[in-house]
């Protein structure tokens, strides 16, 4: 008896069948036979009584199966043939369905019906409608709809103004959002801080430091004090702009902005400095990156584990493995407990630059910290060792993972030397421009020879598991970037993919 009860409790709940009347109506709407005129002809044959609740239920049941044009024709037919008129909630639900499906034509037809019949629109629908219109690239229609809200028996208040501003900012139209703010300041006095923050964030995403600074100054002049998140948003905009246009002023302007923050009693945190460190790491600026933690300590701001990660990353990428190891030891000595992604990313970088022994040392530190999540590292490390010819260490790691009860995703065939192909390292070959058939200008050849660019061997292909896609992606990105970067000068800029962990440094800013 107990077994029967246990089996019954694990079964999914039985869905309630639709009423026969609703099933018949839905079969007509969802039928793929015939066009819209045939649909209306079939609806005219419908003999049962039609109610407003039945129309809404049919819309809800058919919204995923039927095409929006058939749903629209059914709704318009219902409004004409219903014995009692449809209620406001029925119109609002139909409008919500067509808005979710992003059918502008159907939305426009319902707008006309709402206006003509004097229907009242829900507040929830307004926010969804303007957001969808802006996403569809119809900003003018969204603003026109907002200006004529009185025709839909809906007043312009704090909610509607905030909704249209957020919709415009979310799709990259901060200038138009500022126009709405200018005309309706009296209605949004209590939410000015949030509105300014949305506009500031959008200007910052566009890397328009001039407009972002103007918003900061406007906030101060209007008595709205910017707080830490606003300053960090502007700081990211300033750093990313200088990173691409005027790198020589990156550190100077960032530190000047932090000094300005302090003058307004807003003190930079580790997140503020990590924004600067992230930009410095993208261009391999070792000296400046190494000095930032010292400046943090001098200003009374404690470094977090993300700060140590960003410094260690740039050190590993530029071949300063001893200093990078010291940075990791310093972080551990300061009793900072990092996320497991800290070790995933740094181990992936060391794989990419072919420093497996360094990766093994870092993996030992990870195990001593008892963070867990060792499986992905084993899955990448064991095949890497076997393909490098280090069968003994690879077998030790396999046995160690098995003893710890870790379910490995890599195949056991990796342990068989007769199956696993061993890639022997070879010296990178230099490409001689003299032997090239492509004619280069003399000055270009001279510059390339000074840089000493060489091309290393191709990366060995390995059988990686599905559950380690993140670390494998990091390995491949860093490996491909560093095959040429190791023999370039530090002034040569190399574009890298963004690593997910860097965004954790300013997750509060992006929220």
As a whole number, mean pLDDT of residues 104-116 equals 89
Least confidently predicted of 206-215, 264-273, 280-289, 490-499: 490-499
Between residues 432 and 65, which one has the greater pLDDT? Answer: 65
Task: Give the per-residue pLDDT at 426.
Answer: 56
* Phi-psi domain of 44 (left: phi exceeds 0; alpha: psi -120 through 50; beta: other): alpha
Task: Tell me the C-alpha distance between 130 and 141, whole Å.
Answer: 9
Element (H, E) at 211: helix 209-221
Q: Which helix (H) or strand (E) holds 134?
A: helix 123-135
Q: Supply the DSSP string of 285-296, one letter for each residue.
A: -HHHHHHHHHHH
Question: Is residue 87's pLDDT more than 60?
Answer: yes
pLDDT in tens, 156-187: 888 999 999 999 999 889 999 999 999 888 88
Higher pLDDT, 395 or 329: 329
pTM given for the model: 0.72
Select from 165, 160, 177 the least CA-distant residue to 126: 160
Q: CA nearest 464: which of 370, 369, 351?
A: 351
Residue 361 has pLDDT above 80, yes or no: yes
53 vs 438, more confident: 53
Exposed, middle or buried: residue 88 (CB in 10 Å: 0-12, 13-18, 19+)?
Answer: middle
Average pLDDT over residues 249-261: 93
Mean pLDDT of 392-417: 80
SS percent in the chain: helix, strand, coil, step 5: 65, 0, 30
């Amino acid at each position: 008896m107990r077994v029967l009860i246990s089996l019954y409790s694990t079964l999914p709940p039985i869905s309630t069948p639709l009423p026969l009347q609703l099933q018949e109506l839905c079969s007509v709407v969802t039928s793929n036979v015939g066009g819209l005129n045939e649909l209306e002809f079939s609806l005219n044959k419908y003999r049962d009584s039609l109610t407003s609740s039945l129309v809404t239920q049919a819309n809800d049941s058919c919204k995923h199966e039927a095409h929006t044009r058939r749903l629209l024709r059914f709704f318009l037919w219902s409004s004409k043939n219903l014995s009692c008129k449809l209620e406001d909630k029925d119109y609002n639900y139909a409008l919500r369905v067509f808005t979710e499906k992003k059918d502008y034509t159907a939305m426009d037809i319902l707008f006309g019906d709402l206006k003509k019949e004097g229907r009242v629109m829900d507040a929830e629908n307004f926010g969804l409608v303007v957001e969808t219109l802006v996403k569809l690239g119809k900003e003018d229609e969204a603003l026109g709809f907002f200006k004529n809200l009185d025709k839909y028996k809906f007043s312009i208040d704090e909610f509607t103004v905030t909704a249209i501003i957020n919709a415009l900012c979310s799709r990259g139209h901060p200038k138009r959002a500022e126009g709405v703010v200018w005309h309706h300041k009296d209605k949004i006095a209590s939410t000015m801080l949030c509105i300014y923050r949305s506009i500031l964030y959008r200007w910052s995403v566009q890397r328009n430091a001039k407009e972002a600074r103007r918003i900061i100054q406007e906030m101060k002049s209007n008595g709205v004090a910017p707080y830490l998140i606003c300053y960090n948003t502007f700081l990211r905009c300033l750093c990313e702009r200088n990173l691409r246009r005027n790198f020589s002023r990156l550190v100077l302007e960032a530190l000047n902005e932090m000094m300005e923050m302090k003058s307004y009693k807003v003190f930079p945190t580790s997140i503020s400095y990590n924004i600067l460190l992230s930009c410095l790491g993208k261009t391999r600026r070792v000296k400046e990156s190494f000095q930032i933690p010292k400046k943090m300590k001098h200003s009374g701001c404690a470094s977090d584990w993300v700060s140590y990660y960003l410094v260690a990353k740039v050190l590993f990428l530029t071949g300063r493995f001893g200093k990078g190891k010291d940075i990791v030891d310093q972080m551990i000595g300061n009793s900072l407990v990092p996320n497991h992604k800290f070790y995933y990313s740094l181990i992936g970088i060391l794989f990419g630059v072919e420093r497996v022994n360094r990766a093994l040392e870092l993996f030992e530190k990870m195990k001593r910290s008892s963070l867990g999540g060792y499986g992905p590292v084993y899955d990448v490390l064991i095949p890497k060792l076997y393909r490098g010819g280090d069968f003994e260490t690879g077998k030790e790691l396999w046995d160690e993972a098995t003893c710890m009860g870790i379910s490995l995703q890599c195949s056991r065939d990796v342990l068989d030397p007769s199956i696993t192909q061993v890639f022997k390292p070879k010296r990178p070959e230099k490409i001689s421009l003299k032997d090239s058939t492509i004619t280069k200008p003399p000055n270009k050849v001279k510059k390339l020879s000074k840089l000493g660019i060489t091309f290393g061997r191709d990366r060995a292909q390995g059988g990686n598991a599905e559950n380690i896609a993140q670390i494998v992606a990091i390995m491949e990105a860093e490996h491909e970037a560093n095959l040429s970067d190791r023999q370039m000068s530090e002034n040569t800029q190399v574009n890298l993919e963004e690593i997910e962990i860097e965004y954790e440094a300013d997750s509060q800013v992006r929220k």
